[in-house]
């Protein structure tokens, strides 16, 4: 049975060209980038090329890219790094209730150290109101952190507008762009961004490598101390092969992003329309138009997301409920609850995220399979009364 992978938001397969580009760095090109002989120089040159590819993807300068061990580390470095470098007066952070746990966890940690954090609400589509951001700013505000697009429901935030508000107020602006980098155009200068997190494995690169964009002039403390790597901003011998793979993935994404978004947007809309037509009492979660081109998130009333996942898995279809981090716990998604969904609808949510190798046939197969699964599960549910089925 052919598997259908619809969980690109959790991780993407590493592109074959990326794997090819990485291979020499596990073999003959093994040098340490800090060494002064030729092997070291080769490694250094490869890292420089990768840095410039990642910088180009988001419209930054090479010097503004710090390689990290992934998106989670980039988010931690942005928030804690800026907090640790601040003088005592600036002890207020503004973020949202729908951020990734990498941001929320860092904020909770800083709260324990005495920082104050404002968690802004979102509307029913998962949108943050720029006016709420403006009103939350005080004389003590240090940084605003609002994600570019949400990993669960795909809603894209008005980042440029929030960036302008931050700039006008003289407050730093961080955005978690892990879901958008390489998928949606980003220009850090036009968008007023000072700090931006990226992860390679969400754009067809390898796992365990990412980057934080740090605008020139932004004061930030390192989290990892030791050697002088990454211009004293992140110590430790560089993940050479990973960084090379990240650079290659960024370069590929820059070339294919626009066309891919068009193709995926069409498949996404076909999947959304099909689901809403074929499954009664299903609703789309997230914004109808300001939305990642590859994200579908629906709530299907009277069924459990986990049951749908298990049945889909038996049919060879990989999907997700809420996010990979929250599945496995019984708590429903903090994102869906923030958007005002009931616990029941939040528990009945399903995320289908599309990518480079998704086909129209995949979409058709999911539609047919899910329709059958939902009918079967609802037939067993004591709560569900099918249209026309009389109450007992």
Ligand X SMILES: *Cc1c(COP(=O)(O)O)cnc(C)c1O
Residue numbers at the binding site for ligand X (CB under 6 A): 70-72, 75, 100, 102, 147, 151, 176, 178-179, 199, 201-202, 210
Residue (143 or 374) nearer to ligand X, CB: 143
Catalytic residue among 325, 344, 375, 381: 325
The span from the CA of 194 to the CA of 143, in Å, is 10
Residue (8 or 302) nearer to ligand X, CB: 8
Number of alpha helices (DSSP H) and beta strands (DSSP E) in the chain? 12, 12
Q: What is the nearest approach in angstroms of ligand X to the Cβ of residue 311? A: 25
Please report how many Cα atoms fall inside a 13 Å half-sphere around the Cα of residue 138, on the Cβ side.
10
Name the residue number minimizing CB distance to ligand X: 71
Residue (100 or 311) nearer to ligand X, CB: 100
Q: What is the nearest approach in angstroms of ligand X to the Cβ of residue 288? A: 21
Residue (175 or 299) nearer to ligand X, CB: 175
Q: What is the nearest approach in angstroms of ligand X to the Cβ of residue 146? A: 11
| DSSP 3-state of 277 | helix
Q: What is the nearest approach in angstroms of ligand X to the Cβ of residue 12? A: 10
Cβ-proximal residues to 26 (8 Å cutoff; 6+ apart), any chain: 241
Give yes or no: 107 in active site. Answer: no
CB atoms within 10 A of CB 310: 11
Cβ-proximal residues to 312 (8 Å cutoff; 6+ apart), any chain: 318, 319, 366, 369, 370, 373
Active-site residue list: 325
């Amino acid at each position: 049975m052919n598997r259908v992978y619809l969980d690109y938001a959790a991780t993407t397969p590493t592109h074959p060209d990326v794997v090819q580009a990485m291979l020499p760095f596990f073999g003959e090109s093994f040098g340490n980038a800090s060494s002064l002989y030729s092997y070291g120089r080769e490694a250094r040159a490869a890292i420089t090329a990768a840095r410039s590819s990642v910088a180009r993807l988001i419209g930054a300068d090479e010097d503004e890219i710090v390689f990290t061990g992934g998106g989670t580390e980039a988010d931690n470095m942005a928030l804690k790094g800026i907090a640790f470098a601040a003088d005592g007066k600036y002890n207020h952070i503004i973020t949202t209730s729908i951020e990734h746990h990498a941001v929320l966890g860092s904020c909770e940690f800083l709260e324990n150290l005495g920082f104050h954090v404002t968690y802004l609400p979102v509307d029913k589509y998962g949108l943050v109101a720029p006016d709420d951001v403006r009103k939350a700013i005080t004389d003590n505000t240090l940084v605003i952190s609002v994600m570019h697009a949400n990993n669960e429901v795909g809603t894209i935030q008005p980042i440029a507008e929030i960036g302008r508000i931050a700039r006008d107020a003289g407050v730093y602006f961080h955005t978690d762009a892990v879901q958008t980098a390489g998928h949606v155009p980003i220009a850090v200068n036009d968008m007023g961004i000072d700090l931006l997190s990226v992860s390679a494995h969400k754009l067809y690169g390898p796992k365990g490598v990412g980057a934080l964009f740090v605008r020139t002039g932004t004061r930030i403390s390192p989290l990892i101390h030791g050697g002088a790597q990454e211009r004293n901003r992140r110590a430790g011998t560089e993940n050479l092969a990973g960084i090379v793979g990240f650079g290659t993935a960024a370069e590929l994404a820059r070339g294919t992003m626009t066309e891919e978004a068009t193709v995926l947007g069409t498949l996404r809309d076909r999947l959304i329309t099909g689901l809403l037509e074929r499954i009664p009492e299903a609703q789309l979660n997230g914004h109808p138009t300001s939305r990642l081109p590859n994200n579908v998130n629906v709530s299907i009333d009277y069924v459990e997301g986990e049951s749908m996942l298990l049945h889909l898995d038996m049919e060879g279809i990989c999907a997700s409920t809420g996010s990979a981090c929250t599945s496995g716990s019984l708590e429903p998604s903090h994102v869906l609850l923030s958007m005002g969904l009931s616990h029941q609808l939040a528990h009945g949510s399903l995320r289908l995220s599309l990518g480079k190798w998704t086909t129209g046939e995949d979409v058709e197969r999911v539609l047919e399979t899910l329709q059958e699964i939902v009918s079967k599960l609802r037939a067993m549910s004591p709560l569900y009364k099918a249209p026309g089925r009389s109450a007992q």
